Structure 1
């Protein structure tokens, strides 16, 4: 220090040097540290440089992936935009659906209210109807009881009707004679002229008239003789204006007797051209006679009778009746089967013979019978036979039948007889068929005064008292006789002349038979002709006979008309015993 009390410069310098040395040492230490750190940093830099070399490829890959992600993001963005648009549209649709649903809900509520009101109305109506139904059921029960009583009374009255009907027919006569006067026709002007030539000619005066329903008046006006009026009485007389319906109305009651167990025969008698075939069959065409239900107003007795028979059968229990048909003609005193068939199935006439059975009845062995189920089948079958019927033109009639036609319907009735107590069947195979027949024929039985029905499940041993099936046959014979004619007027020669001779002889034999029956002779000459032999059971046997006289009103046929009227008069004089019915058991009649 300086004496003056101040700091010496040297000391200051030393202190400064010391400070600087300290700083130098500190800097050196710092340099060492920094060098150390620098070395470390160089190491790390070398390490990082190695790492950077490795990651360059990864960075490139990451850049590629990033580019792809960017592309994907761009495409995704477009899809999102589309989806967003679709979502917006769906939102709009949903809003519309919501509005529609609200409207539909309002309508549904309105309809529910309306339906509920209707249901309530219907329920009330049903309640009223139920009350009315209960009332109706009570009335129906009363009506059923009344109906049962009426049915019982009906069955009783039905039996009385059958008895009264057949008694009435018998009181009228088992042989009834009707007369039909045909209208004047163009060929009545003069023989030898055709119908076409005579259409413009003046028709002649009528000499046969009807005065009432039972009387025929004939004016017998011959040159040089006084006018004589002759009258003939018959059961029924038809004028020229009366139709086929009117004629059949008087025939139909006989068919009821047919199903009541009686045989019936209806025959047409008269000269050629007097309308027999028209009355029995219907209108004739130019070539043949054809039958058809479509021509109903003009149908004759044969097709109408068949329709009526099937109508009556339809009112009976199903399967209790069936019908068989035979068609024969008597030509030149020979019987021909018009339904016989050859080996090829063609219909052709086969000669048959008539015999007398042990019971004294006429029969034609090997005669063809065809089963029919309705009137249409019958007409078709008879048409086939009519095609074979012999015809020949004469001056009197252009389609003169040269044979007697006999159409026979055989009705078989399945009845029940209580005289047997055997079981109905003995094996399972036959039992359904036989039990069906029993049900069709006699469907109900009485047990302890109550109505009971047999059981299909019952065993044969349970039928201790069983009724036996029995077949009853009745016949309806429909006869269209060949016309009697004067040889001089008809102008026939050769074969036709021979035919005329046989026709007249057979009709004369028929007249002789009726005369013998009327005079009650011990011998009736049925076998003098095949016709009378064939019709033996109808003329003098067990049948109700209706003779339909057909006459012409024309002056030139006066002799033939008088002959026909005389035949009818003789037929009315025939007195036969009471016609017997084919016995039907009581159980059958009660149906």
Structure 2
């Protein structure tokens, strides 16, 4: 039986195959379109990243240009202010000279007039009453003129003070001074490591001007290379202790105005740090004049502080002293006493408060009333400081000594309180989003928050306002009772040294390691600040953690670099000068007065 082929079935089958192929191609088209869309998205992302990178480069370039312009403007402003200060100093000296001559002339004329008055008041000269009245009127006119001259002199002094603080705020950087000590007998000792090198007594570090020091790097078989370092002030071996303090003294003029001040001595062992900070006295020097000539920065700064306090109203300032030692990366309170009342260094911890400042809990503070009290306390506990003889120095300090003078200043009258309120109001106007008083004083209810003007008006008009109706509890009474505190920190750092040169062995190696690590941490902090890194490694060492407020805060910091002048210690001298150069590159925030911020308990 023949087979018949159904054409309809064949056509239907072919149509089915074609439809299947069509669906497959449509699916393939959808896949290709999806891939195409994904590729377009990736292309758009790449273009966006390129555009963003280009914008960031443009912003960085503009920021660099703005910084350069700002630095140029700051330099020009600083130069103008310095010239104004010089002119003001000259005018002030002329005013003082005129004032002295005028006072002398007035005194002589007063004596003459008193003689004439005595003669006129006698019975024989009773008819000269008119002349006596004219003389009295002249005396009154001269007294009024003297009062005017005195007020003018006070105004000029206030203006000089304001310009001085403005110059300091514009400078803003850490100030670095350098002191090159004279050649000492132990500089001539030939070490085993330098037997084939140049003579160790040859002077290679010298001060060539008031702000420049030169180091002649000598190498065997090679010509010498001179390296120049510039600082704010350079003291040569011939400069006395008084000359060094005269350059530090201007910092103390702002201490009672609410600024924190720190003076730090840095250098290798035997470079003269302790002599610069504490001073020294040889057995032959027994006279008072010779003792005063050898006083270091600490006794002279204490004397200057109490001299400035004596010019202020009585009982408006109180001073407390504390002494700490950082030994083997541990902080010790040298004024702490044991149960028997004997002085013994107690270990303390360093913490960071909620405001970001470092603090030492349970630190001992001793009240003092004069510079002699300060030096008596310091001299009584210096024997507890760690010392160890080395090949470089027979009395090498093995710890960092930190002497802190805390000044508590009270508001002398209601006018000072009103000025502090006005300054706080201006701060709020410049920073509208800044928290008023303290963040913890804010109420949770937004309706209970007041503006700065309303708060100032309310505190001035209604002192008995209840805490439930004000942002902070009783701010008026807290301001009147809470003094503001400033600190003068005087730091004598331990000396950096090479183990091979110092010749220490045994347990002293750990001391050297801790000293060098803490000084390296100080160098790392200065480098991070100079490069403006987001993280500053303050907690790498107890020393940097303790001095966090001074190094990176708003205090006025002066680093005194002490260097040796001979070839034997040229490596350590270069290291100290390099650290000073890094310190000068740190851009700190402008110093702020501590009494600008209202404090509430």
Instruction: Name the TM-score, length of structure 2 as normaliser.
Output: 0.64
Alpha-carbon distance in 2 for matches of 1:130, 1:256 = 52
> What is the Cα deviation at residue 261 of structure 1?
1.1
Listed as ranges, the matches of 1:351-500 within 5 Å are 351-415=347-411, 416-418=416-418, 468-500=480-512
Alpha-carbon distance in 2 for matches of 1:314, 1:570 = 38
> What is the Cα deviation at residue 145 of structure 1?
2.9
Listed as ranges, the matches of 1:279-298 within 5 Å are 279-283=276-280, 295-298=291-294
Check if 1:175 corresponds to 2:196. no
The residue number in structure 2 matching 1:199 is none
Which has the greater radius of gyration? 1
Listed as ranges, the matches of 1:22-171 within 5 Å are 123=122, 137-171=136-170
The residue number in structure 2 matching 1:85 is none
> What is the Cα deviation at residue 135 of structure 1?
5.5
Alpha-carbon distance in 2 for matches of 1:503, 1:126 = 86
**Contact 1:184–1:203, Cα closer than 8 Å, also in 2:** no
Q: Secondary structure at the match of 2:338?
A: coil
> What is the Cα deviation at residue 210 of structure 1?
1.1
The residue number in structure 2 matching 1:254 is 251
Alpha-carbon distance change, 123 to 504 in structure 1, aligned in 2, over 3 angstroms: same
Check if 1:532 corresponds to 2:532. no
Instruction: After superposition, give the CA deviation of every residue in 1:128-152 in whole Å (9 maximum; x if it has no partner).
Output: 9998875564344324433444454
Alpha-carbon distance in 1 for matches of 2:315, 2:129 = 42
Q: Gapped runs of 5+ residues in structure 2?
A: 1-117, 193-198, 422-475
The residue number in structure 2 matching 1:516 is 528
Instruction: After superposition, give the CA deviation of every residue in 1:275-323 in whole Å (9 maximum; x if it has no partner).
Output: 000001001669xxx9x99711010000000000000000000101111
Alpha-carbon distance in 2 for matches of 1:251, 1:186 = 29
Q: Secondary structure at the match of 1:368?
A: coil
Instruction: After superposition, give the CA deviation of every residue in 1:317-374 in whole Å (9 maximum; x if it has no partner).
Output: 0101111100001000000101111233221111111100000000000000011000
Instruction: After superposition, give the CA deviation of every residue in 1:2-60 in whole Å (9 maximum; x if it has no partner).
Output: xxxxxxxxxxxxxxxxxxxxxxxxxxxxxxxxxxxxxxxxxxxxxxxxxxxxxxxxxxx
**Contact 2:420–2:596, Cα closer than 8 Å, also in 1:** no
Alpha-carbon distance in 1 for matches of 2:161, 2:490 = 23
Alpha-carbon distance in 1 for matches of 2:289, 2:366 = 20
Listed as ranges, the matches of 1:260-339 within 5 Å are 260-283=257-280, 295-339=291-335
Alpha-carbon distance in 2 for matches of 1:346, 1:163 = 47
> What is the Cα deviation at residue 499 of structure 1?
0.6
Alpha-carbon distance change, 393 to 120 in structure 1, aligned in 2, over 3 angstroms: closer
**Contact 1:293–1:299, Cα closer than 8 Å, also in 2:** no
CA RMSD of aligned residues (A): 3.1
Alpha-carbon distance in 2 for matches of 1:205, 1:368 = 47
The residue number in structure 2 matching 1:185 is 184
Instruction: After superposition, give the CA deviation of every residue in 1:375-399 in whole Å (9 maximum; x if it has no partner).
Output: 0111101112212111000000000
Alpha-carbon distance change, 145 to 485 in structure 1, aligned in 2, over 3 angstroms: same
Number of residue pairs the alignment of both structures matches = 414
Alpha-carbon distance in 1 for matches of 2:391, 2:528 = 34
Q: Secondary structure at the match of 2:324?
A: strand
The residue number in structure 2 matching 1:570 is 582
The residue number in structure 2 matching 1:581 is 593
Alpha-carbon distance in 1 for matches of 2:355, 2:279 = 36
Alpha-carbon distance in 2 for matches of 1:499, 1:420 = 48
Alpha-carbon distance in 2 for matches of 1:382, 1:553 = 30
Alpha-carbon distance change, 147 to 359 in structure 1, aligned in 2, over 3 angstroms: farther
**Contact 2:554–2:589, Cα closer than 8 Å, also in 1:** no
The residue number in structure 2 matching 1:232 is 229
Instruction: After superposition, give the CA deviation of every residue in 1:65-109 in whole Å (9 maximum; x if it has no partner).
Output: xxxxxxxxxxxxxxxxxxxxxxxxxxxxxxxxxxxxxxxxxxxxx
The residue number in structure 1 matching 2:336 is 340
> What is the Cα deviation at residue 126 of structure 1?
8.9
> What is the Cα deviation at residue 401 of structure 1?
0.3
**Contact 1:186–1:203, Cα closer than 8 Å, also in 2:** no
